[in-house]
């Protein structure tokens, strides 16, 4: 179980934009990733420090602390005012006021553990500069050689080709595919797979999201033009070409790896729009139990493997499954995910055993003309607000109306039909008081890979 109830304070850093994921990210990508950072407020314990790229709105601090029973005055929330870099640790260092305040807050706490979104090179350098222990590792010395090896491992596993070869060595199913060194080899790889498959998907050789994925059909019109255009626009870096799955479910399995070994935190069915993760249902609504067990067995084998390599912390494996029961894993994320804070909220509000008695659905609303205050008031009026006695209702997890214009939410309760009915009611409120957003990702498009 995640360390939800321990006493030691943590420095939680939402460094969602990392060169381990994308060395030269686009501005749109950066803004999208940064907008989700304020959700980390729901992962805090008393006396924690939270650093995000964009500030957590004060009303969300009050709302989350009231919901979780936290003492807001014990928390310290920081966000750099200046953003000369895409990377949060760089921006903290460049912003003198934020850097000074952070150092002061670190010195106030005798026991403090660093818990970054992702342990990349910048996070490790920060831990070493401030002599901060890194969450979940046996050693409290951030200068220990194990961390250099672990950071290298994290960067390697963010390459789909490295993930694929590791899974194949562990007899874990992955889609049939070919890795090419440059886009100039794209046409040959695509036609090689076309001898066995009607549709293929082209991906950049990195994990963590579906940015830039393109599907190609063997009988599609304009195929040669599409190949030439794609080869000309892809960066001159390795590319993975895989068979395309007609997916029915997009399951993800999240594990926590500690000194005791790996344990499954939860399994979910991801909601995906245009290859991008927008939400999930925990547990998967109608995915056969034997399919879940088979994927979890392989997931545990993978988690055990990286445990033996020295990794500690949260990771997930994202997969795909067909209605006929065929399945494969497509990527791994060595970081906290879009579901980690969901799991923490559910554990706190419903109990550590929530998977045995409750369902949840998480997604977002595009805030076209509706504010957090209006939505919350309507939720109160219609009886949708989470009721701890009933262990059911809606929690708004983030107000991004000033960043990406999205209000993120979590609906929980039982049975699943009741959860989905509450979700429909919530979205009806948003469509009545604002413009329809059309962004409900329940009906997943036939795209084989997603991000969390």
pLDDT digits over 256-286, tens only? 999 999 999 999 999 987 767 789 999 999 9
**Tokens describing residue 259:** 């000194």
* Residue corresponding to tokens 């045995």: 356
Quick one: 1 exposed, middle or buried, by C-beta within 10 A (0-12, 13-18, 19+)? exposed
Q: In sequence order, which residues have a C-beta less than 8 Å from that of residue 9 and are 6 or more positions away?
A: 45, 47, 48, 49, 109, 111, 112, 113
CATH number for 187:
3.30.1490.20
Q: Do 280 and 384 share a domain, yes or no? A: yes
Among the three residues 227, 243, 259, which one is the final residue of a domain in this structure? 243
Question: Is the peptide bond preceding residue 415 cis, with omega within 30 degrees of 0?
Answer: yes
CA-based nearest residue to 349, from 397, 314, 392, 383: 392
Q: Do 188 and 48 share a domain, yes or no? A: no
CA-based nearest residue to 77, from 58, 59, 100: 58
User: How many domains are there within the chain?
Assistant: 3
In a domain, 164, yes or no: no
Q: Do 132 and 255 share a domain, yes or no? A: no
**How many Å apart are CA 401 and CA 59, to the nearest integer?**
13
CATH number for 378:
3.30.470.20
**How many Å apart are CA 275 and CA 262, to the nearest integer?**
28
In a domain, 255, yes or no: yes
- pTM beyond cutoff 0.75: yes
In a domain, 392, yes or no: yes
Q: Do 273 and 221 share a domain, yes or no? A: no
* Least reliable range by pLDDT among 23-32, 165-174, 373-382: 23-32
Q: Which domain holds residue 188?
A: 176-243
Q: Do 220 and 310 share a domain, yes or no? A: no
In this prediction, residue 447 has a pLDDT band, given cuts at 50, 70 and 90, of very low
**What does the pLDDT read at residue 7?**
67
Q: Do 358 and 421 share a domain, yes or no? A: yes
Span 100-155, pLDDT tens digits: 999 999 999 988 999 999 999 999 999 999 999 999 999 999 999 999 999 999 99
In a domain, 162, yes or no: no
Q: Do 78 and 199 share a domain, yes or no? A: no
* Residue corresponding to tokens 């399951």: 251
β strands within 52-139, DSSP E: 76-78, 112-116
In a domain, 18, yes or no: yes
Q: Do 220 and 285 share a domain, yes or no? A: no
In this prediction, residue 451 has a pLDDT band, given cuts at 50, 70 and 90, of very low
CB atoms within 10 A of CB 409: 23
Reply yes or no on whether the pLDDT at 418 is more than 90: yes
Reply yes or no on whether the pLDDT at 209 is more than 80: no
In a domain, 258, yes or no: yes
**Tokens describing residue 1:** 């179980």
Q: Do 192 and 143 share a domain, yes or no? A: no
**How many Å apart are CA 421 and CA 391, to the nearest integer?**
16
In a domain, 418, yes or no: yes
Span 338-386, pLDDT tens digits: 899 999 999 999 999 999 999 999 999 988 889 999 999 999 999 999 9
Among the three residues 224, 243, 262, which one is the final residue of a domain in this structure? 243
**How many Å apart are CA 421 and CA 411, to the nearest integer?**
10
Q: Do 336 and 361 share a domain, yes or no? A: yes
* Residue corresponding to tokens 């504010």: 371
In a domain, 443, yes or no: no
Q: In sequence order, which residues have a C-beta less than 8 Å from that of residue 201 and are 6 or more positions away?
A: 213, 214, 215, 216, 241, 242, 243, 244, 447, 448, 449
Q: Do 372 and 282 share a domain, yes or no? A: yes
**What does the pLDDT read at residue 234?**
87
Q: Do 306 and 367 share a domain, yes or no? A: yes
Mean pLDDT for the stretch of residues 76-100 = 96
- Contact of 190 with 202, CB cutoff 8 Å: yes
């Amino acid at each position: 179980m995640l360390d939800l109830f321990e006493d030691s304070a943590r420095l939680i850093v939402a460094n969602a934009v990392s060169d381990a994921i994308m060395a030269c990210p686009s501005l749109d990508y950066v803004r999208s990733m940064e907008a989700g950072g304020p959700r980390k407020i729901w992962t805090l314990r008393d006396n924690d420090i939270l650093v995000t790229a964009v500030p957590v709105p004060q009303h969300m601090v009050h709302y989350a602390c009231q919901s979780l029973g936290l003492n807001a005055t014990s928390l310290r929330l920081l966000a750099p005012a200046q953003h000369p870099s895409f990377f949060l640790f760089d921006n903290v260092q460049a912003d003198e006021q934020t850097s000074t305040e952070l150092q002061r807050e670190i010195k106030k706490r005798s026991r403090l553990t660093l818990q970054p979104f992702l342990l990349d090179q910048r996070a490790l350098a920060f831990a070493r500069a401030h002599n901060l222990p890194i969450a979940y590792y046996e050693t409290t010395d951030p200068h220990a050689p194990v961390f250099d090896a672990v950071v290298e491992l994290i960067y390697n596993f963010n390459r789909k080709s490295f993930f694929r070869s590791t899974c194949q060595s562990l007899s874990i199913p992955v889609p049939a595919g070919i890795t090419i060194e440059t886009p100039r080899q794209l046409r040959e790889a695509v036609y090689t797979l076309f001898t066995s498959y009607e549709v293929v998907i082209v991906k950049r050789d990195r994990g963590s999201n579906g940015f830039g994925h393109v599907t190609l059909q063997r009988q599609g019109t304009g195929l040669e033009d599409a190949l030439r255009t794609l080869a000309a626009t892809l960066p001159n870096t390795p590319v993975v070409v895989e068979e395309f799955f007609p997916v029915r479910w997009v399951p993800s399995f999240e594990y926590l790896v500690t000194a005791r070994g790996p344990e499954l935190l939860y399994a979910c069915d991801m909601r995906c729009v245009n290859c991008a993760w927008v939400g999930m249902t925990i547990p998967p609504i109608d995915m056969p139990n034997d399919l879940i067990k088979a994927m979890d067995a392989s997931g545990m084998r993978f988690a055990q493997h990286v445990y033996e390599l020295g990794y500690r912390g949260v990771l997930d494996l994202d997969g795909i499954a067909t209605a006929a029961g065929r399945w494969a894993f497509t990527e791994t994320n060595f970081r906290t995910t879009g579901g980690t804070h969901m799991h923490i909220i559910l554990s706190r509000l419903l109990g550590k055993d929530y998977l045995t008695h409750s369902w949840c659905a998480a997604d977002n609303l595009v805030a076209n003309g509706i504010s957090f205050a209006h939505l919350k008031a309507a939720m109160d009026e219609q009886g949708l607000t989470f009721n701890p006695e009933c262990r059911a209702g809606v929690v708004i997890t983030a107000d991004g109306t000033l960043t990406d214009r999205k209000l993120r939410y979590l609906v929980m309760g039982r049975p699943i039909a009741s959860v989905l009915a509450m979700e429909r009611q919530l979205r009806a409120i948003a469509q009545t008081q604002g413009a329809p957003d059309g962004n409900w990702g329940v009906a997943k498009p036939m795209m084989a890979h997603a991000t969390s």
